[in-house]
Amino acid sequence: MSSEFSKVWRLPGDIDTDNLAPGAYMKLPVAQIAKHTLESIRAEFASSVKVGDVIVAGPNFGIGSSREQAAGVLVELGIRAVIAPSFSGLFFRNAFNLGLLLLTCEQAELIGESELIQLKQETRQDALLGIQHTFWVISEKREKLKCSDIPDFLMQMIDHGGLINVLKFKMNYAHNIKAE
């Protein structure tokens, strides 16, 4: 299935958690930290970004702190996905836990500022690894770009809107089983 068109915000490599959620605002709720997202490198971002837009960045996106608000602000602003050649491992976990889709794409650097792209999702059963989800970046400017596979348990976090909803779902399920 292919999605709607998303507008690309192009960012450099090594975007750190202080760029995304600056320490000085960490006392505030996520909705307010979000107003300062990327202000040290791209002042207009937080006020101009639209729900459904996509970030395409250079390598090492999300390096630095464990503060999950760095991913939370992007969810708050309605970012549909972040596409980059590599992510900080800690940021990667936080993003999926909050329902933010990260797509690891070696050729992300080919995608340009303000480009309109679509994301196409394919699902398959791997004999060894179980259900895997593959995303493709579709643009009329080039051949489609493949992103790394996402295991099903991580994709469930995206589909449910984060780990807390997955936990709710599982606890309700366990509760209902007991009730029966």
Partner 1 sequence: MKNINHSSSMSRPQTLAQKLIAKSAGVEAVSSGDILTCKVDLAMFHDSSGPRRLKPMLESLGARIWDTSKVVLVLDHYVPATDAQSTQIVQITRDVAKEWRLPNVIDTQGICHVVLPERGHLKPGMFCVGGDSHSPTGGAFGTYMFGIGATEMLGVVVTGEIWVQVPRTLFMNWRGKLRDGVCAKDMMLHMIARLGMNGGAYQAVEFTGDAVRHLNMHERMTLSNMSAELGSQVGLVAPDQITIDYLKNTRNDLNEEWCRHALQHWYSDEGSEGEHFDFDANELSPQVAAPHSPAKSASIQSYGRERFNVAYIGACTGAKLEDLRAAARILKGRKVASTLKLLVAPASAQEQRIAASEGVMKCLEDAGATVLANTCGACAGYGFNFQENDRVISSTARNFKGRMGPASVDVFLASPYTVAASALRGELCDPREYLS
In DSSP notation, 153-169 reads HHHHHHHHTSHHHHHHH
Min separation Cβ 4 and partner 1, Å: 27
The residue (of 28 and 46) whose beta carbon lies closer to partner 1 is: 28
Q: In terms of CB distance, is 70 or 117 closer to partner 1?
A: 70
Residue among 63 and 117 whose Cβ is closer to partner 1: 63
| Nearer of residues 15 and 145 to partner 1, judged by Cβ | 15
What six digits make up the tokens of 15?
């975007």
**Beta-bridge mates of residue 55:** 9, 82
Interaction site with partner 1 (CB under 8 A): 14, 16, 18-19, 22-24, 26-28, 40, 59-60, 63-68, 71, 86, 88-90, 92-94, 97-98, 128, 151, 153, 162-164, 167-168, 171
Surface-to-core class of residue 29, CB atoms within 10 Å of its CB (0-12 exposed, 13-18 middle, 19+ buried): exposed
Helices in the chain by DSSP H: which ranges?
A: 17-20, 30-33, 45-48, 69-76, 89-97, 152-160, 163-179
Q: How far is the CB of 60 from partner 1 (least distance, A)?
A: 4
